[in-house]
A and B are shown apart, each in its own frame.
Chain A
Amino acid sequence: MASTIFRSLHTNPCLLHPTALLRRKDVILYCTMRSAQTQTAATPDKVKPQVKVAPNIQNKTLEKASKDYEAVIGIETHVQLNTLTKAFCSCPYNYGSPPNTSVCPVCMGLPGALPVLNMKVIESAIKVGLSLNCKLSFNSKFDRKQYFYPDLPKGYQISQFDVPIATGGYIDVDLPLEYGGGHRKFGITRVHMEEDAGKLLHSEGGSYSQESYERLRLTLSLFWILFVYFMQVDLNRAGVPLLEIVSEPDMRTGIEAAEYAAELQRLVRYLGVSNGNMQEGSLRCDVNISVRPIGNIEFGTKVEIKNLNSFSSVSRAIDYEISRQVLLHSQGEDKEIVQETRLWEEGAQKTVTMRKKEGLADYRYFPEPDLPGVFLTQDYVDGIRNTLPELPETKRRRYEKMGLSMQDVLFLANDVNVAEFFDTTITKGADVKLATNWIMGDIAAYMKNEKLTIDEIKLSPKELAELIASIKDGTISGKIGKEILFELLAKGGTVKGLIEEKDLIVDPAEIEKMVEKVVSENPKQLEQYRGGKTKLQGYFAGQVMKLSKGKANPGLLNKILLEKLNAKS
């Protein structure tokens, strides 16, 4: 019985996902160039935030009231770095490995084991810090954050406290057009490095977040004894490097918050420092939210929301929470809003109390004595700065200048791999608008149907450029071009090769022969043509094409045909 309850608490990605896909149907693939499972999934733009809000809250009073209040939203994001080994030991980390198969004395916190910093963590932190326009601390350090929890093997987490590696930056965000678009700049308070904790399991192998564990403890005391018996800790994730990115409380709506998170995901993927996958927990967002009457300078009481596994849940949870708090405010019950941590329940589409905060937790931070200070040199930082790729914001602005529409810009820049594909295609000389159309049209549709990412299709940017050129110069018709495209997508190969395979007639002499044959067999039409009925060119062209069984190069055909028709003989 206990296990049934455990299962129902476990966020089931299979249940979650189909709805997310459905909701996305109307907007073609905006954020999802990756495969269906890896989603960039439920991107905010697909979500009509009000739809799911519980009806008792969504009433006219509320709508009226919400005009008088504004929400203040800040986000703490944990980004799991994809370094080859963990932060302080040489264990690899692979999501989904069997429990406790990627552990060693260091990440298990065995007596006598010591942490040694993986320098890749610093490198990733600097990349992210620079990309978020932060000021770097050239002289920072690690600290111990102390608390007891079974998933924390040492009884403390190695983190950064008073001197984070990066502070005081900002991030540029373009809001989705479906929500009116617009550009925003959100402040970044700090970026710091820390290590991840393990995961709690029970004996049947399901996994639980710390939140559901905590909830169980509070709500299911009857089963608590059983739970402790079955409890296990999987330390595979313990010691995996994280960056905690804390935003300023600059966001006002669920959409802004979700887009902020989506931009962070884009950024870490562009930088290649994380896979940014929310459902695997590589990108985790905790939202802080308060509501205040418009015009007030003081913040309202802050509530933290956890368990947000997609951008759409970020957006919906915030909008739900705003409604809940506005309602309490408007009914004069704002005392009911207490400082607490609430969980987003995907099934019920609402937030529920997880734990009330009784004063501030005292983590008894102190400098980590096992690790030396982190000292950066200007040369080292400059070296990293010089290797930074073009970032999403820069790319979007460049695409804009290239004359692309905002919709095209957002689509292309959304996924680093799509953007790279596009950029390479352009570099190979393809027409910008045509390349955009092909990628956003047939190629995107193909990827969606086949559930492939742009890296997995067989078409290369070079061949797309070749294809566009071949159509443009009339070597092949648009119709043949499309046929060739789908063959390239599925099987690969080259445009030239496929044209040859199709036995297309590109030899001018051969086409000339056919033209001469058609012209000589239609003396009457020729006479009419020469008499001024030039529309008949189409007739002749059709006949030649018919004769070639559709394989004649249309450009050559027309060129030679015109010469013959207009020849004074």
Chain B
Amino acid sequence: MLSTLQPPRSLSHFRTNPTLLLRYTSLKPLSSLSSQPVIHSTITDQPQSPNPLPHSQILSTRHSLLSRHLTATQLADSFLARLRLTEPHLRSFLHVSDSVLAQARELDEKIQRNEELGPLAGVLVAVKDNICTAEMPSTAGSRVLEGYTPPYDATAVRKIKELGGIVVGKTNLDEFGMGSTTEGSAFQVTANPWDVSRVPGGSSGGSAAAVSARQCMVSLGSDTGGSVRQPASFCGVVGLKPTYGRVSRFGLMAYASSLDVIGCFGMSVADAGILLYAISGHDRLDASSSKREVPNLEAEFVSISSLDSKPLKGLRIGLIRETLDDGVDTGVTSAVRNAALHLEELGCFVNEVSLPSFSLGLPAYYILASSESSSNLSRYDGVRYGNQVPADELNSQYKDSRAKGFGSEVKRRILTGTYALSAGYYDANYKRAQQVRTIIRKSFKAALDEHDILISPAAPSAAYKIGEKKNDPLAMYAGDIMTVNVNLAGLPALVLPCGFVEGGSAGLPVGLQMIGAAFDEGKLLKVGHIFEQTLQNCNFVPPLIADEVTS
């Protein structure tokens, strides 16, 4: 029954199947065989102690397969089972691969033959649907691309496959990445695993929810103005936005080319870092990808037992003052201040730092992103593929295809961008926004010359209700204030859960954003890993799956 995987939308009848639950929990005893302290090899993510520490699902998978405690098929089975159970509540996937088990079996045969395994062997990866996959539809959440399957894999996807990773499916998003709630998808609304009446954030809401609900081990998202970091914060998972140029954009459907990056989601900092390491590096198919060498990021994840009492001694942390101003929920502010205290306990020197240009980022971002998107989306004209509307005039063909193919948020941004680039308006809009971008870049540079890392909330609030901001685009845009500056500056940033605010049945997670110097992902991962391994009294497994497992 498990091997005949169907698209999730038609699977609601699996929800209460007791055999699935049985099978799922039956895997649990095997997991206790792990001997490594940091790397728990539990595959069930069930709380083992009142306060389980996040562990690397990738490393435990590697360990389980190599030690032959588990087969890849068993692992895949258990995740697919959970995917089926949770998907009717979450709707995080637009497409689920029907070859996951076949690939897992193939991998098991390789293990049987003692063949060498890739570092991501058996790792189940979900991919945001604006990232091209050769064997699966890639719609970017838009009607314009309904039914479109690209002829090639994005470079990041190709690398994952080459290293042994298995793509589970394509996750939901705001159309072309334009939105902060995933409500902007043309196909479905994704729910937050912490409270299904709330949004998972966006635009990579599907990828964040999928990792949060353990529907997959890790996932790829894309981050143009915060689309990885804000949903990571809303869903209580780790989200990593790399430096612009660190990961090839080839195969990422462009929203705003100078801001877009592919980012990673994981249940732990280590997972996000290992996934980033796998997909990083120069790509001759992307002229904006950096030729810088990628350091071995896996080396940053030291075992907790080897840490002394002040493992981050001497590290200079700047808390961005402007991110704690009015308009930020007090619960969020206090969670971030507590996180700062925690960093101090770890030996860091924390002080407040002011970035006066911070508030300029939001308008500059929306002008630049809209301008570039108005150009990038020109190719979806219905002449070549997608949703061609028959018309007897070329102009009306363009108009009809685009009017019916695009949702309202996309149209709003295309119009804004077209206006911003128009003759007579260019200087006051696009050019001025570029000048602001330069100022922001410089002020971050100055702040990062004096600090190792800057911290801020990842979003001004925790997850809000579905529909709450749907008809108020300005309110939604305002929610991006914490993240857009980082894209404008092209810097890497890591978001990891640091606490809770009230809401839902078990509280709602709050994310802490750590911003580093360009190409210094290593430092972010190191600090993030130690932070997460030493954070007490927090359990970031959402009630949705905790409930289902114990019920």
Contacts and interface: CB of A to CB of B under 8 A. Distances in A.
Question: SS class of chain B's interface: helix, strand, loop or mixed?
Answer: loop
Contact of A110 (B150, B393, B394): B150
B515 interface: no
A114 B150 contact: no
Given A116-B287, A117-B287, A148-B378, A366 B392 contact: no
B378 A156 contact: yes
Question: SS class of chain A's interface: helix, strand, loop or mixed?
Answer: loop
Interface stretch (A168-176, A349-357, A367-375): A367-375
B265 interface: no
A474 interface: no
A179 interface: no
Interface residues of A, number: 33
A217 interface: yes
Interface stretch (B52-60, B248-256, B334-342): B248-256
A365 B421 CA distance: 7
Contacts of A372: 287-288
A154 B378 contact: yes
Nearest to B131: A112
A366 B131 contact: no
B14 interface: no
A298 B487 CA distance: 50
B394 A217 contact: yes
A112 B148 CA distance: 13
B375 interface: yes
Contacts of B422: 362, 364
Given A148-B398, A224-B393, A228-B391, A155 B375 contact: yes
B151 interface: yes
Nearest to A109: B379
B150 A371 contact: no
Given A112-B132, A153-B379, A366 B430 contact: yes
Interface in A243-296: none
B551 to A, nearest CB: 42
Contact of B154 (A112, A156, A217): A112
A113 B251 CA distance: 6
B533 interface: no
B426 A366 contact: yes
A105 B285 CA distance: 11
B284 A116 contact: yes
A103 B138 CA distance: 21
Given A224-B393, A371-B287, A112 B252 contact: yes
A255 to B, nearest CB: 37
A360 interface: yes
B74 interface: no
Interface in B147-175: 148, 150-152, 154
A569 to B, nearest CB: 89
Contacts of B106: none
Contacts of A360: 423
A150 interface: yes
B392 A114 contact: no
A225 B378 contact: no
A111 B381 contact: no
Contacts of B154: 112
Contacts of A144: 375
Interface string B246-269: 000111111011100000000000
Given A155-B379, A366-B426, 6 more contacts: A146-B378, A155-B375, A155-B377, A155-B381, A364-B418, A370-B257
Interface of B: 131-132, 138, 140, 145, 148, 150-152, 154, 249-254, 256-258, 284-288, 371-372, 374-375, 377-381, 383-384, 391-394, 397-398, 418, 421-423, 426, 430
Shortest beta-carbon contacts, A-B, top 6: A155-B378, A369-B257, A369-B258, A364-B421, A112-B251, A111-B253
29 contacts: A108-B384, A110-B151, A111-B380, A112-B150, A112-B252, A112-B253, A113-B251, A114-B254, A114-B285, A116-B284, A116-B287, A117-B287, A146-B421, A148-B378, A148-B398, A150-B381, A155-B381, A217-B394, A224-B392, A224-B393, A225-B392, A228-B393, A228-B394, A233-B383, A360-B423, A362-B422, A364-B374, A366-B371, A370-B254
